[in-house]
Structure 1
Amino acid sequence: MKISARNVLSGKVVDVIAGTVTSHVRIDVGGTIITAAITNEAVEDLALKVGDEACAIIKSSDVMVGK
Structure 2
Amino acid sequence: MEATEEKIDISKEKPLEEIITERMISKVESDEEAKKNELKDEKIQELERKDQEDSSKKEVSKRTPKQQEDV
TM-score by length of 2: 0.14
More strand by share: 1
